[in-house]
Amino acid sequence: MKLANKVALITGAGAGMGLAAALMFAGEGAAVAAVDINQSSAAETASRIAARGGRAAGIRADVSMAADIKEMFARTVKEFGRLDIVYNNAAIIEEQTQLSEFDDDDFDRVIAVNLRGVYLGMKYALPHLIAAGGGSIINTGSIAGFTSFRGTPAYTAAKAGVVALTKVAGLQWAKYNIRVNAICPGPVFTPMAEGIHRRMTGRQLRPNSKMPMSASGRMAMPEEIARVALFLASDDSSYINATPITVDGGC
């Protein structure tokens, strides 16, 4: 097992990529702190892991709040005795909106969750990872961090910031045997993507929906992103640090 005797904390673990990673990490031997802003979703993920014979705890946290971040780490270490892997995955996205028409409070909220949440998740993980002798931090970026999308100014700005923060933290914390990397997905079939598609088109999004922007012609499934996260969490990626990895089907 790639993560035997490891403890992983995953934010946004109630659905989509976070849920897929939580189940996969547990299947590879990790104890998992499944964190989500929705308590019932976090508990359901933990329950699914337990039903498969794994160890898990469901924790409610708003990743934009420092007090919640500190508490989720404290609970994880109290429950499992250590912390080895942090997957800062929680994110939200705004409705398709022109920059000049964007609501200021909405902009602040997207930045708070997607960028501040990653910053806090790294900052307050640090002492626990140092205590464990090192570890791996994985941040969820996006191809939006490298290119422009007309209707998502806050999301695009936040994801570009995640890529930059990842590089800085990876360089600064290598001395502690901590690697920091980012996964930058293209289109992924998740509940968030489904909701956006339904609001924009009035139609249901399907896993095999055609994606002209992707050379593969389709969306990724959450498990395909989770396998990259597993690679970054494990010793298989022991010499990869401060690196954003695009997983976009050739967009």
Question: Which residues are annotated as catalytic?
Answer: 155
Please give the Cα distance from 231 to 251 (Å, whole number): 22
**Residues written for the chain:** 251
Residue 70: phi and psi, rounded to 5, are -60, -40
Q: Could you give the 3-state DSSP secondary structure of residue 69?
A: helix
With beta carbons less than 8 A apart as the criterion, state whether 134 and 178 touch. yes
Contacts of 172 (CB under 8 A, 6+ apart): none
Q: Could you give the 3-state DSSP secondary structure of residue 171?
A: helix
Beta bridge partners of residue 135, listed in sequence order: 178
Tokens representing residue 85 in the block: 């892997």
Beta bridge partners of residue 119, listed in sequence order: none
Q: Could you give the 3-state DSSP secondary structure of residue 246?
A: strand
CA 113 to chain centre: 11
Contacts of 16 (CB under 8 A, 6+ apart): 188, 190, 191, 192, 222
Which strands make up the sheet holding 7-11, listed edge to edge? 56-60, 31-36, 7-11, 85-88, 135-140, 178-185, 243-247
